[in-house]
Amino acid sequence: MSLSTVVIGIDIGGTFTDFVVLNDGSLSLHKQLSTSDDPARSLLSGVKALDLPLSAEVIHGSTVATNALLERRGAPTALITTAGFGDVLEIGRQNRPDLFALVPQKALPLLPKALRFEVDERVSADGEVLRLLDIKAVEVLRDHLIDLGIESVAVCLLFSFLHPDHERRIAEILAPHMLVSLSSEILPEYREFERTSTTVINAYVSPLMDRYLARVESGLAGRSLRIMQSNGGVITAAIARREAARTVLSGPAGGAVGAFEVAQQAGFDHIISFDMGGTSTDVALFPGKISRTHTATLTGLPLHLPMVDIHTVGAGGAALLGLTRLACCKLAQRAQGLTLGLPLMAQATSLRPPMLMSSWDDCILITSWAGRWRYTQTGRLQPYRASRQNSLRSNWQKESLMWPMRRWSVPFGAFPLSVATIRVALHWLPSVALAPCMLVIWQER
C-alpha cells in the first residue's frame, strides 16, 4: 500500500470486526471474527493483515462500553456522594415505564448499596460552602476502597457543578490508586439522579476502555487514532480513555450515521435504520436529518450526554435462545466461553444451570433456510444453485428435524414438547423480543 493519505474505519462488534480502507478514493473491505476475550487482538490482527502504512489515520467505532453495560460486566466501581444522598441511584424518579404491569420490574442500579459511600460535606443551591469536606474521612475511605479492590470511583457531590472544589480534592486523594470520574466534569448540570447515573456509567466502563485503547495505541505503532463517540463525531483516544461514557453508542452511532448517508445517496431522506449485530440490535429514526438527544436510557440506566437518538436492546444474532427444564423459552446474552461459528446447542450442556440452547442464527438456519443455503469451507453462507436445490432440500429438512432431537435428547432424555414446537418457539422468540424496540421508533418517536 502506498504512503499516500490512507484512512481506515474499524468497527468491532460482539461477533465480527469490520475494516474499510479508503486509499486515494478507492475502498477495500476486510472482515474477521472478533476476539471477545480481547477485542484489541482482532483489531491489530486485521491492521497487520492489511499492511497499513504508519501515516494511515485510524477511525475506530467500538462496542466495548456498550456491551459492558448491556451485559453488566464493567470494572469494580464505587460511588462517593454527599452524606444523605447515597440512595439516589436506587430511588431514581417516580416515572413508571410500564403503567399496566401487574408486577413492575425496575432496573437494578449498576452499584449495590455496599459500594455507595457518603462523605461529610455540603454545598448550597447557590454554590456556597455550608460544610467543608472531611479530608480525614476521605483518606480512610480511600484505604477501604483499596482493600475492596475497587478500580474506578464515581464522585458526585450535591451542587458540585456550582462548586467543584470538593470533588477535585477527593480526586487528588484517590487518583494515584484508581480511576476517578467527577460529575463536575462529566455532566456539570442539575438533576441529581441523571448526573449521578451518567457519572457512575463513566466510571463503570472507563477502566475497560482505558486498558483496551492502551493496547490498541501500542499495537498501532504511532498511527493516528480517533474514536467514534455517541453523537456521531470523533474524539481523541486520550479523551475516550478518560470519558468512556461518550463512547457507549460509538459503534451503533457510526452504523446509524452511515446508513443515513447511504440512504441519502439512494434518494431517501426519511428512513428507519435497523442494525443487528451478534450481541445487540440498534434501531434509529431519521426524519430527514440525524436525530440527536441529550436524554437517553440504556437498559434502564439514564445517560445524559449528546448522542444519536438510537434505541438499543441486548438481543443479537448470537444471543442465546433456550428452553429450561420446565420448557420455558428464554432469550439471553451470549454465554461466556461459547465459541462463535459453531452450533451453540452443542456447547450448552456444560452451562450451569443447564439449558437447551441455540443462537438465533442457528434457529434461522434450521427453520427458514434449510435446503436453500449452505456453508462453504471458508465459513461463508451461500445459496445453492437452482439445479441442485430441489434434490437437496428434502435431505436438509430431514436433517434439520433430527439434529436438534439428537443434541437435546442426550442430556435431557424424552422431552415433553415436539421438535416442531421447539423449532417454532425458538424461531419466533427473538421477533417478540425485538418488537417493542421497533414500536419505540415508529410509534413513540
Q: Show the cell assigned to 245.
A: 461514557
The answer to whether 279 and 333 are in contact (CB under 8 A) is yes
Type of residue numbered 246: R
Q: Show the cell assigned to 9.
A: 474505519
What span, in angstroms and rounded, lies between the C-alpha atoms of 93 and 88? Answer: 9
pTM attached to this predicted model: 0.75
At residue 379, the pLDDT reads: 45
What span, in angstroms and rounded, lies between the C-alpha atoms of 139 and 146? Answer: 11
What is residue 184's three-state secondary structure?
helix
List the one residue out of 33, 406, 312, 71 whose CA is nearest residue 205.
71
Question: What is the DSSP secondary-structure string of 378-403?
Answer: TS-EEEPPHHHHHHHHHHHHHHHHHH
3-state secondary structure 416-430: CCCHHHHHHHHHHHH
At residue 413, the pLDDT reads: 34
pLDDT by residue, tens only, the chain of 445 residues: 444 588 999 988 767 888 999 988 888 899 888 887 888 999 999 999 988 888 899 999 888 888 788 788 899 999 999 999 999 998 888 777 777 878 877 788 899 999 999 999 999 999 999 999 999 999 999 999 999 999 999 999 999 999 999 999 999 999 999 999 999 999 999 889 999 999 999 999 999 999 999 999 999 988 899 999 999 899 999 999 999 999 988 888 888 998 999 999 999 999 988 887 766 678 888 999 998 888 888 778 889 999 998 877 666 665 555 554 444 445 555 544 444 444 444 444 444 444 444 555 555 555 444 444 444 444 454 554 444 444 434 443 444 333 333 333 333 333 334 445 555 555 555 555 666 667 777 666 6
Strands (E) in 220-269, as ranges, are 224-228, 234-236
At residue 183, the pLDDT reads: 95
The answer to whether 93 and 193 are in contact (CB under 8 A) is yes
List the one residue out of 236, 171, 232, 240 whose CA is nearest residue 207.
240
Q: Show the cell assigned to 391.
A: 434434490
What span, in angstroms and rounded, lies between the C-alpha atoms of 47 and 60? Answer: 12
Q: Show the cell assigned to 222.
A: 504511532
Chain Cα centroid distance, residue 148 = 26
What span, in angstroms and rounded, lies between the C-alpha atoms of 69 and 201? Answer: 8
The answer to whether 372 and 398 are in contact (CB under 8 A) is no
What span, in angstroms and rounded, lies between the C-alpha atoms of 366 and 355? Answer: 19
Chain Cα centroid distance, residue 147 = 29
List the one residue out of 182, 158, 187 whose CA is nearest residue 169.
182
What span, in angstroms and rounded, lies between the C-alpha atoms of 253 and 231? Answer: 7
Q: Show the cell assigned to 176.
A: 494515584
At residue 356, the pLDDT reads: 45
Question: What is the DSSP secondary-structure string of 292-340?
Answer: EES-EEETTEEE-S-EE-EEEES--TT-EEEE-TT--EEEEPPPTTPPT
| C-alpha distances in Å from residue 422, one per residue of 119, 245, 316, 327, 426 | 54, 40, 20, 9, 6
